[in-house]
Amino acid sequence: MRMTVIGTGYVGVVHAACMADIGHDVLGVDIDEGRVAALSEGKAPIYEPGLNELLARTVRSGRLRFSTSTTDAARFARLHFVCVGTPQVRGGEAADVSHVDAVVDSMAPHVQPGSLIVGKSTVPVGTTARLGARLRAVAPHSEIAWNPEFLREGFAVADTRRPERIVVGVESRRAEAVLREIYQPMLISGVPFFSTDPATAELVKVASNAFLATKISFINAMAEVCDAAGADVVTLAEAVGADPRIGHRFLQPGLGFGGSCFPKDIRAFAARAEELGAGEAISFLHQVDEINTRQRRRTVDLARHLVGGSFAGLRIAGLGAAFKPESDDVRDSPALDVASAIRREGAEVRVHDPEAVDNARHRFPGLQYALDVPKACEGADLVLHLTAWPEYREISPAELGSVVRNRQILDARATLDAASWRSAGWTLSALGRPKITGMYTD
């Protein structure tokens, strides 16, 4: 089927390439001419495992091409996926849907009769109904549906090819039939398909993110209690997660969540609930957000304690810049937030990341950066493990110990093997593990 994908950011470029890969004829559209030029050569604008190869293959096949014109898009197909960003509004917590509005408004006068515009962006509940009225006023025989994305950065290609579920919010059987046809290869393989009204579909996305964020903040709240009680949050999480009603996923204690989704989505969800008069029902999300932010402050506090109360004149190494492993995304990165806070207190902070150094350098020029771990840690008074890249778990503590000034490491992601580091003469510390850290006495 012919389709367009409007917006070639993280969601859009992955969706466009995957749709082309399963046999659809896809036109990707973006206002950034440089990005469109690179994409047309099969070059991905982001780091995502498997994406470069997929993009190059689908561009080469002719099933995927790119343009800067929404008018071209309207002429190309009757099916249009909207994948533009919905950041927080400046000075507030609500979602800024101006980019979504702009796409619909620009396309409405040009769409072919019977066109279906399908939103994938994360939006406040009620957006589909509002935009649908605007579209029908200009293009009365066209309609809008919502099909939220549930991609995990680092697994986006796999999540698109084999999603855990497909949710569509539609107002007609025709729209549902079109989307079933688009996703037929996934449905044949057994992927659950939920067809509902647009408002429910919009809420599924934000409710899912709110729940996962709550789970992360819950275990980090338990880490704070463990510090006070002398308990071990890693063992606690393993035991609690063994209950199948709870599970281990998203129950890893550490520095907390960041990125472009969870923080802004839970704030926008709470803001929209307030507008609807239901703010009290999800007021707990403010506490979820605060716990997450406090975890960053607590990490800085623990680091300061480990170096004797002051960072002034010290050299600190930061392992990790991306907000999560297998990504080069540094938006609202807890790792860089902590590194920057320590630099502001007078330390020289040198950061390493396998993929995100270029993005980090652009956003945080005050930090220093290294292209390998030993260089980042050379002469360090304290090493901070800030992003849970698998390669950091493979570091030889003995070898790294030969380049640092003091064998001290703060495992802010609680994924390192404490015993191997301690046997190599290191002091390993972590939030929620006071007996390992030495901040609790029986």
pLDDT value of residue 436: 77
Find all residues with CB under 8 Å of 357, minimum gap 6, and list them.
321, 351, 369, 371
CB 81 within 8 A of CB 15: yes
> pLDDT tens-digit profile of 189-238?
999 999 999 999 999 999 999 999 999 999 999 999 999 999 999 999 99
Please give the share of the chain, as a percent, with pLDDT higher than 90: 96
Q: Is 83 a catalytic residue?
A: no
Convert the pLDDT of each residue in 333-359 to its tens digit: 999 999 999 999 999 999 999 999 999
CA distances from 390 to 51, 325, 416 (A): 19, 8, 10
The pLDDT of residue 438:
59
Nearest to 79 by CA among 183, 202, 204, 165: 183
- Residues 312 and 336: their CA atoms lie apart, in Å, by 18
Helix orientation angle between 10-21 and 51-61, rounded to the nearest 10 degrees: 50
Residue 341 CB neighbour total at 10 angstroms: 19
Place 435 in a pLDDT band, splitting at 50, 70 and 90: confident
> Beta partners for 408?
427
**CA separation for the pair 199, 354 (Å, rounded):** 40
Please answer whether residues 341 and 309 qualify as being in contact, where contact means their C-beta atoms are separated by less than 8 angstroms: no
Domains and CATH numbers, the chain: 2-196 (3.40.50.720)
Q: How confident is the model at residue 441 (pLDDT cuts 50, 70, 90)?
A: very low
**CB contact set of 243 (below 8 Å; sequence gap of 6+):** none
Query: Which residue do the tokens 């099909």 mark?
Result: 147
